[in-house]
Amino acid sequence: MNPLLKKLQPYPFERLRGLTAGVTPNPTYRAISLGIGEPKHATPEFIKQALTQSLDGLASYPATAGEPALREACSRWLKRRYALDLDPATQILPVNGSREALFALAQVVIDPTQAGRNGQATPTVVSPNPFYQIYEGAALLAGAEVVFANSDPAKNFAADWASIPESVWATTQLVFVCSPGNPTGAVMPLDEWARLFELSDKYGFVIASDECYSEIYFRTGPDAAPLSGLEAAHKLGRTDFKRLIALTSLSKRSNVPGLRSGFVAGDKDLIKSFLLYRTYHGSAMSPVVQRASIAAWDDESHVVENRRLYAEKFERVTPILASVMDVALPDASFYLWAKVPDKCGGGSDEWFARELLAQYNVAVLPGSYLAREAHGVNPGAGRVRMALVAGVEECVEAAERIRAFIQSI
C-alpha cells in the first residue's frame, strides 16, 4: 500500500458521525441538517432535458479535452461573468467537478524530487485554515508537506498569508486559495491577490483558485459579485495568467452536484500538462454530461433565481441567529460561520453540535473539524458551520430552534 495513505485524516463528516454516535435526537422535532454543504434546490428542468436528450452520446468515447462546444460555452461564460477572453482550445479544460480537479492538479504540479532552496527535501503546499479537506489530502498524497495560513476574524476571516515565513515560501510549489471561502464565505480582495502574485513571481509556485461558490452572493452594486483569481490577474496586467489555475463548477451554481461537471482555466502551459495527466488518468467527461453542461453554462436566469432563494434565506435566518450568537452575513457562499456562545459548553463547538442535535434535532458541523492546529491555535475551534442549503422555511425553523436552544441554557 502507498504509505502516504496513512497520513490522511478522517473526513469532517466521519468525525461528526463519531461525535454523535449514541445520540438520540429529540423525537419531538423532525430532523433538519445544516451540516453538509450539498445544494438542495431543484435542478432546473432544462438541464434535465438537455441530459436526457443527449443519451446518444453514451455510444461514444469522450475526448479528455472535451468537446469544442463545451470549452466554447465555458469561454462565453468567462466573458459574460468577468469580461475575460480565454482561448477555449488552450486555456480551458472540462473536469468532473472541482473536487477531483483540485486533487489531480496537485499530482501534476508537485515535484517531490525537488529540494527547496533552503535545502528542505519535502516540497510545501500552503493552504488556508479552515479549509476544504481535499487540499490537504491532495498535497499529502503528492508527497508534499502542508503549511496553513490561519483565517483572521479581525480581517473578515481572510487567510493570513503574512504568517507564512520566507523559509516556507522558498519550498512552496502550490498554494490553494478558496474565494469565496469555505466555511467563512470571505472573498479575497485585489490587494491580497497582488501580494500572492508577487510571492508567486518570487518563488515560482502555482496558485490554484477554488471558486465553486462564486455565483452565490447577496450584495448589490457593481462590486457585488465575487472577484475571480483570473479577473484579479487581468486587472493587475497578468494577462497570460502565469502559474494560475482557477477552478469552478456547476454544482452550486446550477444545483447539479450529481452531474460532476466543472472546468479549469488559466495558464496554457499548466493546462497542457494537466490535459496530459488527465488523458492517462481516464478523466474524460461523458458526452451526455458535456451537453447538459453546455446548456447550464449558457443560461443565467436559473442562476439569478438560485441566488435570490439563498438571499432570502440569509435575510431571514441571519437576524434570528445574530440575536443569540456572534454571526454575520458572509461576503458570499451558502454558509454561516457562527461563534459558539461561552455559556454553551464553555464555547465548545463539539459540545454545541452534539447537544443541539440531541435536544433540537438540528445538525451543524463543528468548526474545529474544518481546520488544523497551526501557529498555536485551531482557527475553527469555538465556531460552527451552518449550510443554508434546505428550503427557506426549513432553514428558518432550524434557526429558531438554535435560538431556543441557546436561550434555554
pLDDT digits (tens, 9 = 90+) for 310-343: 999 999 999 999 999 999 999 999 999 999 999 9
* CA–CA separation, 66 and 260 (whole Å): 14
The predicted model gives 211-237 an average pLDDT of: 94
pLDDT of amino acid 112: 86
Q: What is the pLDDT of residue 356?
A: 98
pTM of the prediction? 0.96
The per-residue pLDDT for range 102-161, each reduced to its tens digit, is 999 999 999 988 755 556 678 999 999 999 999 999 999 999 999 999 999 998 999 999
Q: Among 125-129, 206-210, 216-220, 318-322, name the one with the lowest average pLDDT.
A: 216-220
Asked if residue 375 has pLDDT above 70, the reply is yes
Contact partners, residue 308, CB within 8 Å, separation at least 6: none
Please say if the pLDDT value at position 80 is more than 90.
yes
pLDDT of amino acid 115: 57
Closest residue by Cα to residue 51 from 257, 296, 251:
296
- DSSP result, 295-342: HHHT--HHHHHHHHHHHHHHHHHHHHHHTTSB----SBSSEEEEEPPT
Phi–psi pair at 23, nearest 5 degrees: -80, 130
Question: How far apart are the C-alpha atoms of 57 and 131, rounded to whole Å?
Answer: 37
Kindly report the average pLDDT of the chain as a whole number: 96
Backbone angles phi and psi of 265, in degrees to 5: -150, 150
Reported confidence tier of residue 45, pLDDT bands at 50, 70, 90 = very high
Residue type, 308: R
User: Above pLDDT 70, what percent of the chain?
Assistant: 99
Read off the pLDDT band of 369 (50, 70, 90): very high
> What are the cell numbers at 5?
495513505
Phi-psi region of 156 (alpha: psi -120 to 50; beta: other; left: phi over 0): left
Closest CA to 170 of 145, 188, 191: 145
Residues in the chain: 409
Q: Where are the alpha helices (DSSP H) in 53-131?
A: 68-82, 98-109
